[in-house]
Amino acid sequence: MTHSDLAARIHAVSHLTGQFTLRSGRTATEYFDKYRFGADPVLLDEIALGMAALVPAGTEVLAGLEMGGIPVVTALGRHTGLPCAFVRKAAKTYGTCRLAEGAEVAGRRVLVVEDVVTSGGQIVLSSADLRALGADVREALCVIDREQGGTEALAAKGIQLLSLLTADDLRRASPH
């Protein structure tokens, strides 16, 4: 599947219009519903295949952010062979009481994986948590960069944002 074919497919499956409040608190009239592409196993596999080529050399662990990053990181792990960590927004208060489940992150180069990035706020928070656990976080990889300040916010924290697609890529792929 070509890059433009993938963009068209994701747009067709996940693009919604209306009034939406984003995690950042911003409002938007267009929304990319990550659950629609994350729930389609064939499309998710194509997404992961495209993202695998963007994983920086030297990456030791893929860290998917709760909740939308979890299916993406799992699919990406299948294509890269890299172990995965599943990062909660807050450590659970029972069982293992861990913030990051799965692969160990301490002392390892960790790539944060997210579905859609707007302001980059959750990546900033989760990367700080991962760094506090001893992870070396230099990059984050997302399926869609909404191009609304995430790249700059992450750069200010020493994190390079890599994206499979941008909102502009998806708009160009739209049949309208």
137 is in an annotated binding site: no
| Burial of 27 (C-beta count, 10 Å sphere; 0-12/13-18/19+) | exposed
User: Does 117 belong to an annotated binding site?
Assistant: yes
What single DSSP character describes residue 143? E
State yes or no: 89 annotated in a binding site. Answer: yes
119 known ligand binder: yes
Q: What is the amino acid identity at position 123?
A: I
146 labeled binding residue = yes
Is 23 within any annotated ligand binding site? yes
Annotated binding-site residue? 114: yes
Query: Cα separation of 88 and 22, whole Å?
Result: 19
- Whether residue 152 is annotated as binding a ligand: the answer is no
Residue 24 labeled ligand binder: no
Ramachandran area for residue 9 (φ above 0: left; ψ -120 to 50: alpha; else beta): alpha
Residue 92 annotated as part of some ligand binding site: yes
Length of the chain: 176
121 annotated as a binding-site residue: yes
According to the annotation, is 87 in a ligand binding site? no
Annotated binding site for orotate: 118, 146
Annotated binding site: 23, 88-89, 92, 114-122, 146
Annotated binding site for 5-phospho-alpha-D-ribose 1-diphosphate: 23, 88-89, 92, 114-122
